[in-house]
């Protein structure tokens, strides 16, 4: 059975293996033991603490298939709480000469911290052999069920940074231009430094004035706001949830960041609390994401269900056991 649960200290070896498998551009899981162990520690504390408003918490979860860790997903409660959170904002600079009858609109990239305080969907990774049968959809959308059940832990604005275009060697056309003119370090190095929290070089070396997009190399211009091929399905899913691109891109690979108000996310609106009871397998149908709604022992499964009147739901005994709940306990439900 597929079960999503909070990460624990003993999951470190599996988390390191996923960090290695995720490759370049996956900055939320750096291949660094001390940083990964710190992420686990922060997540364990975040699930354990009583929260009245979002701060520096991070909720990192793993997907198990019959006890084997095969994927991860996470939510950062409020980005920029502990360190600077940078983006480029795409804008326009208009040049007009009435005398010469000339008008020019030029796209610009301006460094900003506009998303400080937003909640971020991050660290979504699923091993290749499990990328089928809507398992990725289950893993991704499970986070919206958590936001619906515990709204006090998350911000009103939710964002997701999409991985931008890079080649099989981890080289980004956008970063190559920045490297040549400003930074002098390659994309994997910049990517790694950001992943381990060493962001001071961004403020020190990033252009202090808006960058004219038409002055970038042709290859760099072509990837501004574009996603990596492997990220296209995730972007499509988020668009279906109501996320939109509002002209913010990543400072390293120029991948798009999408946003949505938490209460406007489709899956948040569809999530609902119910009380569970035991039902026979023959009575169950459909495909649902079900959580036990308990933050300090959080569990999410994918299961068939029997919806009844008065907000009841029938689940198999196997599902109740996986959620570690009893008949009559409250649960949260979301159609997959």
Please give the pLDDT value at position 180: 85
Point out the catalytic residue in the list 228, 240, 277, 311.
Answer: 228
Query: Of residues 220 and 23, which shows the higher confidence score?
Result: 220
Please give the pLDDT value at position 10: 96
Please give the pLDDT value at position 167: 80
SS (H, E, C) the chain: CEEEEECCHHHHHHHHHHHHHHCCCCCCCCCCHHHHHHHHHHHHHHHHCCCCCCCCCEEEEEEEECCEEEEEEEEECCCCCCCCCCEEEEEEEEEEECCCCEEEEEEEEEEECCCCCCEEEEEEEECHHHCCCCHHHHHHHHHHHHHHHCHHHCCCEEEEECCCCCCCCCCCHHHHHHHHHHHCCCHHHHHHHHHCCCCHHHHHHCCCCCEEHHHCCHHHHHHCCCCCHHHHHHHHHHHHHCCEEEEEECCCCCCEEEEEEHHHCHHHHHCEEEEEEECCHHHCEEEEEEECCCHHHCCEEEEEEEEECCCEEEECHHHHHHHCCCCCCEEEEEEC
Please give the pLDDT value at position 200: 66
Known catalytic membership, residue 169: no
Tens digit of each residue's pLDDT (9 = 90 or more) over 184-241? 777 777 766 766 666 666 767 777 789 999 989 999 999 999 998 888 888 999 999 9
Mean pLDDT, residues 237-247: 96
Tens digit of each residue's pLDDT (9 = 90 or more) over 248-276? 999 888 999 999 999 999 999 999 999 99
- The mean-pLDDT minimum among 24-33, 80-89, 119-128, 213-222 falls in 24-33
Please give the pLDDT value at position 15: 95
Mean pLDDT, residues 122-134: 91
Tens digit of each residue's pLDDT (9 = 90 or more) over 278-336? 999 889 899 999 999 999 899 999 999 999 888 899 999 999 999 999 999 999 999 98
Please report the domains of the chain, with CATH numbers, ordered by start residue: 2-86+113-267 (3.40.630.30), 271-335 (2.40.40.20)
Mean pLDDT, residues 69-79: 96
Please give the pLDDT value at position 202: 73
Provide, rounded to the nearest whole percent, the portion of the chain with pLDDT above 90.
65
Please give the pLDDT value at position 199: 65
């Amino acid at each position: 059975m597929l079960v999503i649960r909070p990460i624990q200290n003993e999951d470190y070896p599996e988390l390191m293996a996923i960090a290695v498998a995720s490759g370049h551009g996956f900055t939320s899981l750096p291949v660094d033991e001390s940083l990964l162990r710190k992420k686990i520690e922060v997540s364990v504390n975040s699930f354990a603490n009583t929260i009245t408003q979002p701060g520096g918490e991070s909720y990192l979860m793993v997907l198990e298939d019959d006890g084997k860790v095969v994927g991860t997903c996470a939510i950062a409660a409020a980005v920029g709480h502990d360190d600077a959170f940078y983006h480029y904002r795409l804008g326009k600079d208009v040049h007009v000469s009435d005398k010469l009858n000339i008008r020019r609109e030029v796209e610009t990239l301006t460094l900003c911290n506009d998303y400080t305080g937003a909640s971020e969907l991050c660290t979504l990774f699923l091993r290749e052999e499990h990328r089928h049968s809507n398992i990725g959809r289950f893993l991704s959308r499970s986070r919206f069920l958590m936001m619906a059940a515990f709204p006090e832990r998350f911000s009103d604005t939710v964002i997701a940074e999409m991985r931008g275009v890079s080649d099989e060697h981890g080289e980004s056309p956008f970063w190559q231009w920045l490297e040549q003119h400003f930074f002098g370090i390659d994309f994997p190095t910049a990517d790694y430094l950001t992943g381990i929290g060493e962001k001071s070089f961004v403020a020190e070396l990033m252009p202090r004035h808006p960058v004219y997009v038409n002055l970038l190399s042709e290859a760099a211009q072509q990837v501004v706001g574009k996603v990596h091929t492997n990220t296209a399905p995730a972007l499509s899913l988020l668009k279906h949830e109501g996320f939109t691109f509002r002209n913010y891109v990543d400072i390293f690979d120029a991948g798009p960041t999408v946003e949505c108000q938490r209460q406007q996310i489709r899956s948040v609106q569809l999530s609902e609390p119910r009380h569970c009871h035991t039902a026979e397998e023959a009575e169950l149908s459909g495909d649902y994401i079900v959580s036990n709604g308990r933050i300090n022992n959080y569990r999410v499964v994918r299961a068939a269900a029997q919806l009844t009147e008065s907000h009841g739901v029938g689940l198999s005994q196997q599902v109740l056991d996986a959620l570690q709940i009893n008949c009559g306990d409250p649960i949260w439900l979301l159609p997959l």
